[in-house]
Every structure is written in structure tokens, then in C-alpha cells.
């Protein structure tokens, strides 16, 4: 067997790399969705100081390169705070925070898309601010925000490829190792790109089904 030949074990390596990428994507997406939504709710309640601080943090995160954020967490935090940060922890912190910043913007837009007259009418009927948020704003905001959120998650799945530069054995890292061993970059990166495409397509299809169901529940059905 020549050094440049592919082996069945290479398929196992690619599958493991894809598993790492998907695991980090799912974990950071879940954390980012929760954090971003909480930030948006904080803005809705207009918590003094905290609302402005979170808005500034979101602005900072969404307008700076993810790779720079990753380097800051992985190299900067250990040097400044004297703490140990593993590559996986750095990836988890960076991608979660970055996702949260964009989710915050989308969630705020979703909340503000609900007509002020609906909110005022709900308050007239005696609903508390929490009940207004849960029963009036949340369903409509979710239907409005699902499309942008799905597009964001597809993009964040692709962004996970950046974590290979700090040593995380994700799909891109495994692809680079196989590229150096086999010396067949066209084949290797075509396979890696196809795997990313299939994963992103699956996320988009699931998101489209969720969006269709949400919009069906909020659609006008007449009197």
C-alpha cells in the first residue's frame, strides 16, 4: 500500500471529525440560543445598565472576526487571567458567545415586529408583562425569527471550521491531516466540503419545517 492511498480508516477519521464538528455546533447553538434570547428579554424589560451592557457586548461580538475572538479566548485569556483553557473549551466559549450576539439581534427584531397595539390591548385586558411576553409576543416573534435563525445556524455550522486552527480535531482538521498524508487536495477537500454541505442542508431542511409549522399556527384563518 502506498503512502498516498486512502484506507478504510480514513473514512472513520472523517466520521469522527464530522461528529466533533456537529457536537460543538449543537452545543454552541443551544447555548447561544438561550443566551441571546435572555439578552433580548432583558432588553424588553429595559433593565437599567444591564440592557446597555448586553447591547454593547452583542455589538462587539457580531462586528469582530470570529478567528480573532477565538485567538483572544485561547491565547489571551490564559495569559491575562492565568487560567488554563483547552482548545475545546475555547471553541465552546467563542462560538456560543458569537452565536448569542446574532441571536440577540434577531430576537430583538422579532419582539419589535409585534405591533404595539397588540401589547397595549393585552395590558388593557389585565395581562402582566410576563404574560404579554409569553402569550402575545413570543409566538409571533418566533414565527418571524425562525427564518433568520436557520440562516444563522447554517452559517455558524460553517464557522466551526475555524476551530481547527487551535488544534480541535474537527472535520477540517482531519481533512488537513489527510491532505498532507495523501497529497490529494482536490479529493480530500471535495469530500470535506460535501460533508459540510450535507450537514448544512439537513439543518436548513429541519429549520424550514419548523418555520412552516410556526407560520401555519400564526396564519390568518378568517372569522
Query: For the residues 37-45, what does the mean pLDDT come to?
Result: 88
**Which residue would you say has higher pLDDT here, 74 or 140?**
74
**Which residue would you say has higher pLDDT here, 116 or 110?**
110
Domain ranges of the chain: 8-218
pLDDT band of 198, cuts 50, 70, 90: very high
Q: Say which DSSP state 5 is in.
A: S
Burial-class residue 148 by CB neighbours within 10 Å (0-12, 13-18, 19+). middle
pLDDT at 130: 78
Alpha helix stretches (DSSP H) within 45-137: 50-62, 66-71, 77-81, 87-112, 116-124, 129-131
Query: For the residues 115-134, what does the mean pLDDT come to?
Result: 76
* Structure-derived torsion over alpha carbons of residues 138, 43, 70, 170, reported in degrees to the nearest 10: -10
pLDDT at 219: 54
pLDDT at 110 over 90: no
pLDDT at 47 over 60: yes
pLDDT at 3: 60
Please work out, in degrees rounded to the nearest 5, the angle formed at the alpha carbon of residue 31 by the alpha carbons of 41 and 77. Answer: 105
Alpha helix stretches (DSSP H) within the chain: 8-44, 50-62, 66-71, 77-81, 87-112, 116-124, 129-131, 138-159, 171-182, 185-218
Q: Out of 45-49, 75-79, 82-86, 215-219, pick the least confident.
A: 215-219
Contact 14, 187 (CB under 8 A): no
pLDDT at 173: 94
Query: For the residues 83-98, what does the mean pLDDT come to?
Result: 95
pLDDT band of 128, cuts 50, 70, 90: confident
Q: Which fold would CATH assign to domain 8-218? A: MetI-like fold (1.10.3720)
- Encode pLDDT of 166-194 as tens digits: 999 999 999 999 998 888 889 899 999 99
**Cell 457586548, residue located:** 57
Provide the greatest CA pair distance for the chain: 78
pLDDT at 222: 43
pLDDT band of 223, cuts 50, 70, 90: very low
pLDDT at 60: 94
> Crossing angle of helices 8-44/171-182, nearest 10°?
150
Region at 7 (left for phi over 0; alpha for psi -120 to 50; beta for the rest): beta
pLDDT at 218: 56
Amino acid at each position: 500500500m502506498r503512502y498516498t492511498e486512502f484506507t478504510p480508516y480514513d473514512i472513520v477519521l472523517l466520521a469522527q471529525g464530522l461528529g466533533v464538528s456537529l457536537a460543538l455546533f449543537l452545543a454552541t447553538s443551544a447555548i447561544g440560543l438561550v443566551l441571546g434570547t435572555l439578552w433580548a428579554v432583558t432588553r424588553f424589560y429595559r433593565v437599567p445598565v444591564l440592557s446597555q451592557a448586553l447591547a454593547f457586548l452583542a455589538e462587539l461580538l457580531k462586528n469582530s472576526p470570529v478567528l480573532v475572538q477565538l485567538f483572544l479566548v485561547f491565547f489571551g485569556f490564559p495569559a491575562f487571567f492565568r487560567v488554563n483553557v483547552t482548545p475545546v473549551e475555547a471553541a465552546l466559549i467563542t462560538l456560543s458567545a458569537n452565536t448569542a450576539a446574532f441571536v440577540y439581534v434577531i430576537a430583538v427584531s422579532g419582539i419589535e415586529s409585534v405591533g404595539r397595539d397588540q401589547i397595549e390591548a393585552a395590558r388593557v385586558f389585565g395581562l402582566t408583562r410576563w404574560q404579554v411576553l409569553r402569550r402575545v409576543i413570543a409566538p409571533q416573534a418566533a414565527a418571524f425569527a425562525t427564518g433568520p435563525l436557520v440562516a444563522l445556524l447554517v452559517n455558524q455550522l460553517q464557522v466551526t471550521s475555524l476551530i481547527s486552527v487551535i488544534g480541535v480535531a474537527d472535520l477540517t482538521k482531519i481533512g488537513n491531516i489527510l491532505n498532507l498524508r495523501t497529497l490529494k487536495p482536490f479529493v480530500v477537500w471535495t469530500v470535506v466540503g460535501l460533508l459540510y454541505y450535507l450537514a448544512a442542508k439537513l439543518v436548513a431542511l429541519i429549520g424550514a419545517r419548523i418555520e412552516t409549522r410556526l407560520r401555519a399556527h400564526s396564519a390568518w384563518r378568517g372569522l
